[in-house]
Chains A and B, each alone.
Chain A
Amino acid sequence: DVKVTQSSRYLVKRTGEKVFLECVQDMDHENMFWYRQDPGLGLRLIYFSYDVKMKEKGDIPEGYSVSREKKERFSLILESASTNQTSMYLCAIGSRNEQYFGPGTRLTVT
């Protein structure tokens, strides 16, 4: 079974805090992705990585950064959290014909 884990299911942070969301996989996939999901907007890609230390911007990278120091771990960083970053954050791993999601982190920024 594919296993993608995320560091927290629920997180509450204050405006201006630095936030780290971590994703770990056990499938040795090169590709890892970070999405956010908001009602009416669907899933939107923030950043993705296709190898260790390699990253590319997705559709909405502003206000976020990422880190991939090891193949199994992909971190999403909110440098200074803002209320409009309140959302469900989903990590995914994927190959050519499949993409699997982690359980998600519901982040609330107050």
Chain B
Amino acid sequence: GQNIDQPTEMTATEGAIVQINCTYQTSGFNGLFWYQQHAGEAPTFLSYNVLDGLEEKGRFSSFLSRSKGYSYLLLKELQMKDSASYLCAVRDSKSGGATNKLIFGTGTLLAVQP
């Protein structure tokens, strides 16, 4: 089966670091995406990992371990505007033919407190 798991909610303090985990089980694997979604808005692309290791982009980093079916998104120096849902999505190489569908988790709602 296909399954993507993320915590439902997390709370963190402004200025701190938070790690949002994602575990997945899919038929095939062809990349993992992280998106940020503010309430009432569309998801915006944050990162893409296809090889093991850490990808850093400013205050945000994303890590992937394909053997463990595991990824995390690391947010540093948290700001109030980082309060949002964070969606993990896996591209399943065995579905959707050449297009390879994305399978989304239900998202982690992060609340940043002063």
Contact = CB atoms under 8 A, between A and B. Distances in A.
A33 B45 CA distance: 15
A43 B101 CA distance: 12
Interface stretch (A62-70, A75-83, A99-107): A99-107
Q: Which secondary structure dominates chain B's binding surface?
A: mixed
Interface residues of B, number: 22
**Chain A interface size, under 10 / 10 to 19 / 20 to 34 / 35 or more:** 20 to 34
Nearest to A58: B101
Given A97-B50, A98-B48, A99-B45, A50 B99 contact: yes
A25 interface: no
Interface string B37-73: 0000111110010100000000000000000000000
B45 A31 contact: no
Contact of A99 (B33, B50, B97, B107): B33
**Nearest 6 pairs between A and B by C-beta?**
A42-B106, A101-B42, A43-B104, A97-B48, A50-B99, A42-B104
